[in-house]
A and B are shown apart, each in its own frame.
Chain A
Amino acid sequence: MPGSAWSLVIVRLLAAVGIAVGAGIVFGHPQLWVILVLAGYLAWNLYHVYRLDRWLRFREGTRPRQAIGVWGQIYAEFHRIRQLNRDRKKRLNRLLKEFRKSTSALPDASVVLNAQNEITWRNDVAQRLLGISKKDRGQKIDALLRDADFIDYLRRQQFDRPLSLSSPVDGRVKLAIRIVPYGTGQQLLLAKDVTRERRLEKIRKDFIGNASHELRSPLTVVSGYLDSLETDPEIPESWKAPIHEMVVQSARMRSLIEDLLTLSRLEASSSATSNEPVDVRGLACLVRKDALAAGPRKGEIELKLESEAGIRGAESELYSAFWNLVQNAVKYSAPEGVIEIRWRDDDDGGHFSVRDTGVGIPEKALPRLTERFYRVHKGRDRARGGTGLGLAIVKHVLQRHDASLEVTSELGKGSEFTCHFPRSRLAE
């Protein structure tokens, strides 16, 4: 069709020129006739160009006028493209509107940031939770959320964990903030109201702490009487065994309660209680001595102290973490098994490790090791007298010292627990 329209144009033009030449031959001055016909043709074309221009600029939406030949075709094509674009725009607008409506309806505050951390869009909840109003478009987010923790969070660009923050509008409202990078440097900031969850969590923690505390005093009385009963010579022989069992069990209960209290104390704050340099070498020697004193065993406990460095933190907390690791090593290896305590440092930081030649841990149990009361072998572990809280305590202490726990183990050969302390925590 377009090809035929164009050949028609050429045929028409040739015909017009032919007629002009014919007229020139009949009436004389053929050049003049040709010029006249071409000028007329040019004028016709210019007229249509003018109309096209007017139509493109001012008469958006109205149907193009009819015109003969190739001009009609051009008008029609333009009209079609325009219609298409308009439909597309409408569809996009509708989509955008729906998207905005749905994000506005989100229960969480959401703010879209560009690469310079400037606010480009926010929903209505952001006003209520973060105090960011419609007028703040283009404003830097850290100008309005000025909390040092948030600025740190934004700068570090590590968003795998949400940040907890008090709402700048109302300090009692607790928020969990998450930032999701997307596209080219854009970021979506989501703030969720977690006041209720936090309160429930606090009630739970308080309950555990209080309950353990309340259980401690009656238990002390009971085990006190049991201790004196056990040594009482007038007790009949048949009662000896049950009383001894009661003494053992009440001791176990006491250590459970102690561990629970330690845990709830550790949970009460997120950072170590003190920041003094702790002598790790001394601590390692102490832990070894205590382990040897706890019971007779044939295997050696080796000390490999390759570093002079100390750790900045709380000594009592670090002691209980190291003690739990060594205690576990003793518990889960044969009496003649060798245990190695090692302290070294390199460019990454300090590494405190405890290696045993014991039973080892199956691989699928490794990720759950630090859960409270998690046991690899239900019956066997309880018989060894653990509380099931030791590694949970280790994990909490390490978290408070910015450290991490690494566990490698092979069934039947033994396990190695390594605490990695960052360089910033080391004290020379």
Chain B
Amino acid sequence: MTRGTEELTQHYSRQFNEELEAIRTRLLEMGGLVERQLKRSLRALVKGNSELGEQVVHDDYQVNRLEVSIDEECSRVIALRQPTASDLRFVMAVIKSITDLERIGDEAEKIGFLSSRLATQERPENRYKEIKHLGRQVREMLRDTLDALARLDAEAALRIAQEDSNVDDEYEAIMRQSITVMMEDPRSIRRVLDTLWAARALERIGDHAVNICEHVVYMAHGMDIRHVSVEQVAAEAGVDL
């Protein structure tokens, strides 16, 4: 963690340094916004609150707007400052991370939309217990990811990337259960499909969080760990998992 931030703070040009810091602040602000969107969309789903769901759909533009403006700022920094080494890595990783954050925002929007549709239908007996559980897991994962991003903590990022398999398992379980429910009661198919879509969106959010974690490792260590197993990376980076 310290390595990355020190490189950021000990820069020869103070203004450049401030520009990078501003980008970092905006990036995390965007992260906070996405976190809130996810939190609200899940609440709308579980409580059957269609108004809140619509609110989430409506507020997605804020996330998109931030993405565009951060993207512009990054291009400007590249064009004017020609950053090198860790600064370049930082800017590149930010550009990639905002894409993932924006996608997470889209998935939250999708959940919001589905929840306002589901709110008009009969609620299942278990009151979305599994989705609630999966949602909590994904929310924690996103929170930890953004914390790792703030602290440039590669170790934590790798740990989170490993946790993603739990989310995948949970999604699998929900899918199997949904199939059983649909076979038992074909009238529920529409509702269960919508629920399944929401679960799918959560699973995708987990994947995007993992992508951001990879960008964090890249930022901190300059190591590209995409499409490489986590254990291998940990061994190379000398990190104990």
Contact = CB atoms under 8 A, between A and B. Distances in A.
Interface of A: 131, 135-136, 138-140, 142-144, 146-148, 151, 168, 171
Contacts of B151: 135-136, 139
Given A168-B143, A171-B39, A148 B33 contact: yes
B140 to A, nearest CB: 9
A138 B5 contact: yes
A146 B36 CA distance: 9
Contacts of A140: 21, 24-25, 28, 150
Contacts of B28: 140, 142-143, 146
Contacts of A138: 5, 9
Given A135-B151, A168-B143, A142 B25 contact: yes
Interface in B120-167: 139, 143, 146-147, 150-151
A158 B139 CA distance: 30
Contacts, number: 43
Contacts of B105: none
Nearest to A149: B36
Given A138-B9, A146-B29, A146-B146, 10 more contacts: A139-B150, A140-B21, A142-B32, A143-B25, A144-B150, A146-B32, A147-B32, A148-B36, A151-B29, A171-B139
Contacts of B146: 146
B7 to A, nearest CB: 13
Contacts of B35: 146-147
How many chain B residues sit at the interface, stated as a range, is 20 to 34
Contacts of B32: 142, 146-148, 151
Contacts of A135: 1, 151
15 contacts: A131-B147, A135-B151, A136-B151, A138-B5, A139-B150, A140-B21, A142-B25, A142-B28, A142-B29, A143-B24, A146-B29, A146-B35, A147-B32, A147-B35, A171-B139
4 nearest A-B residue pairs (beta carbon): A146-B32, A143-B150, A143-B28, A146-B31
A144 B25 CA distance: 10
Contacts of B33: 146, 148
A146 B139 CA distance: 14
Contacts of A148: 29, 32-33, 36
Nearest to B62: A148
A80 B143 CA distance: 57
A142 B25 CA distance: 7
Nearest to B35: A146
Nearest to B139: A171
Most chain A CB inside 10 Å of its own CB: which residue of B33, B36, B143, B150: B150
A147 B1 contact: no
Most chain B CB inside 10 Å of its own CB: which residue of A135, A140, A148: A148
A167 to B, nearest CB: 11
Contacts of A147: 32, 35-36
Contacts of B139: 171
A284 to B, nearest CB: 29
A146 B1 CA distance: 19
A142 B35 CA distance: 14
A148 B28 CA distance: 10
A147 B146 CA distance: 12
A372 B240 CA distance: 61
A140 B146 CA distance: 13
Contacts of B9: 138
A168 B35 CA distance: 10
